[in-house]
Structure 1
Amino acid sequence: CSLIHRSIESLRQVKSVLQDTFEDKEIEVSHRRSTGRFVFLAEGCFRLQGWMYCRNRILREQWIRAKYERQEFIHIEKQEPYSAGYREGFLWKRGRDNGQFLSRKFILSEREGALKYFNKQDAKEPKAIMRIQTLNATFQPAKIGNPCGLQITYLRDNSTRNIFVYHEDSKEMVDWFTAIRAARFHYQKVAFPGANDEDLVPRLTRNFMKEGYMEKTGPRHTEGFKKRWFTMDDRRLMYFKDPLDAYARGEVFIGSKENSYTVVSGLPPSIQGYHWKYGITIETPDRKFLFACETEAEQKDWIAAFQRVVNRPMMPQEYAGTTQFLNFSNIMPLNLQIKNI
């Protein structure tokens, strides 16, 4: 964070507690000046914590600029554009088939409960309608190849659909991300009227638990292993031929150990056809899923991710998704009965 502070003209006097040295006089001045102002600014930060969290450089930078340059958290009575319930603008969207990024008009409407985009500026009908109920957004700069790259997912025809977008202006992209979180927050406040904000905030948007390449084989274990890109999204393990595919080739449900799901290092001795030697076996009540990793480090990371899920008890609503390849519209985000809205 100190490096970001230093890149802003008015904040260049900031020092890092880990990389810099402090003189006694500087420590004394910091102690005398910081406490009251920090508490005053932090009050606004805490009010906004349901919509923003600092997981990467873009979010950290815009958080710092919002706090110190724009002073958004001091004047909290002023409603910021990203919390107004409506947002309209243009984003560069990756084409599903050709992979080209083209400018597309996006509209986010809390009243309609949807995020829409249009292929043409004057189009009357949207190309896609993404319901806020199933919407998720996560920054993916490395995968998309742009520092402001955002991956948006939603359910379409009971399948997970990926959309990849970016904007040249990092503030614009962060405002879109925050607007999605705000819309999700307001939706869940209505859908789950008995829930506390602390229960709702972690479910506004989520980062994937782990992503990367592994090899996999088919259900009969006689097919050759194929290299696929895997995404672990809570209990959903999705695999793609390419990381930027719009739809997954398949989705595997990972249950809990109470339901006879286990994760084992290695592959059965009779298995052949894999190139990567660091195997993983996931045992379910119905079958075994076999994967292979390129390195031992990747194997350990994947096993740790799977183990965290398997060790977590399942919620009642998750039992609807215990098929091997599932539609995730059956899984509700909270252990609550959803209200019709």
Structure 2
Amino acid sequence: MESAKEPKAIMKIEHLNATFQPAKIGNPHGLQITYLKDNSTRNIFVYHEDGKEIVDWFNAIRAARFHYLQVAFPGASDVDLVPKLSRNYLKEGYMEKTGPKQTEGFKKRWFTMDDRRLMYFKDPLDAFARGEVFIGSKENSYKVLEGLPPSTQGNHWQHGITIVTPDRKFLFACETENDQLEWITTFQKVISRPMLPQEYAVEAHFKHKP
């Protein structure tokens, strides 16, 4: 008799999210599931030949989230809770980035903006991000600037973006002016939104991987 095996992962409903990703996964019935592991985002990509199976899993995750939120926020109405069941990413796509010293060469990375988490990956289907950046609000000294500092070198793409945080500046470069505009607009929407009490806790415990 085989001994029972431990599960490979335990995902807390509190931080669980699911979003349809047919183009990224390369399957019309592709689903991306994310959860937090040691305060870092973990991606799982799943698909099924039967679209109904994937939709059922998506709805099951949303139902579990709804039950969790009802318990966590007993005074909230269903209208307030439904938008929190699952979320789509604010934006995804390729940009170039450089390291914290801003002397390293720029490297092309896949970026995902998930609420206030800006994550970057070597490949769109990587399980873990190479790094994550918390994007706070303008009241807390976060801002986005068009362009790069004059001394910047090593970027192949010419349409720069600078994210200023209380700790440091992050430098990115986009391939096209349209990409640059879309990313800046996305960052501005996040930064212009006041931070919620629970987001201060996320900011305090945030781990950035250089």
Structure 2 CA distance for partners of 1:243 and 1:260, relative to 1, 3 Å: same
Structure 1 pair 152/262, CA: closer, same or farther in 2 (3 Å)? same
CA contact (8 A) 2:42 2:128 kept: yes
Structure 2 residues not aligned, in runs of 5+: none
- Aligned position for 1:286: 167
Q: Which residue, 194, 198, 208 being the options, matches 2:75?
A: 194
TM-aligned CA deviation for residue 130 of structure 1: 1.3
> Using the alignment, how far apart are the partners of 1:324 and 1:184 within structure 2?
23
Describe how 1:200-239 pairs up with structure 2 within 5 A: 200-239=81-120
User: Contact 1:232–1:238 (CA<8 Å) still a contact in 2?
Assistant: yes
| Secondary structure of residue in 1 paired with 2:33 | strand
1:273 partnered with 2:154: yes
Write the letter of the residue equivalent to 2:116: R
Q: Over alpha carbons, which structure has the higher Rg?
A: 1
Is residue 181 of structure 1 aligned with residue 84 of structure 2? no
Check 1:175–1:198 CA distance in 2 against 1; reply closer, same or farther (3 A cut). same
Q: Equivalent residue for 1:165?
A: 46
Bigger RCO of structures 1 and 2 (CA < 8 A, at least 6 apart): 2
Aligned with residue 132 of structure 2, among 246, 251, 256: 251
Aligned pairs, number = 206
Write the letter of the residue equivalent to 1:262.
K
- Residue 158 of structure 1: how far off its partner (Å): 2.4
Matched, 1:311 2:192: yes
Q: Secondary structure at the match of 2:11?
A: strand
Q: Which amino acid aligns with 1:317?
A: Q
Go from structure 1 to structure 2 and tell me whether the alpha carbon gap of 1:324 and 1:279 turns closer, same or farther (over 3 Å shift).
farther
- The residue aligned with 2:19 is 138
What amino acid is aligned across from residue 223 of structure 1 in structure 2?
Answer: E
Secondary structure of 1:297's counterpart equals helix
1:69-148 superposed matches below 5 A: 124-148=5-29
Cα distance in structure 1, aligned partners of 2:76 and 2:28: 35
The Cα RMSD (Å) is: 1.6
Q: Residue 88 of structure 2 aligns to a residue in which SS?
A: coil
Deviation at 1:324, TM superposition (A): 9.4
Give the 3-state SS of the residue equivalent to 1:308 in structure 2.
helix
Q: Deviations over 1:168-191 (max 9, x none)?
A: 111111111011101100111111
Give distance in 2, aligned partners of 1:325 and 1:263: 19
Partners of 2:4 and 2:125 in 1: how far apart? 26
C-alpha displacement at 1:322, in angstroms?
2.7
* 2:32 maps to 1:151: yes
What TM-score, normalized to structure 1? 0.58
**For 1:322, what is the secondary structure of its paired residue?**
helix
Change (3 A) 1:160 1:178: same
Inter-partner Cα distance in structure 2 for 1:292 and 1:257:
22
CA contact (8 A) 2:39 2:206 kept: no
State the alpha-carbon separation in 2 of the partners of residues 258 and 223 from structure 1: 31
Deviations 1:249-290 (A, max 9, x none): 110000111111111110011100000000000111221110
SS in 1 for 2:94: strand
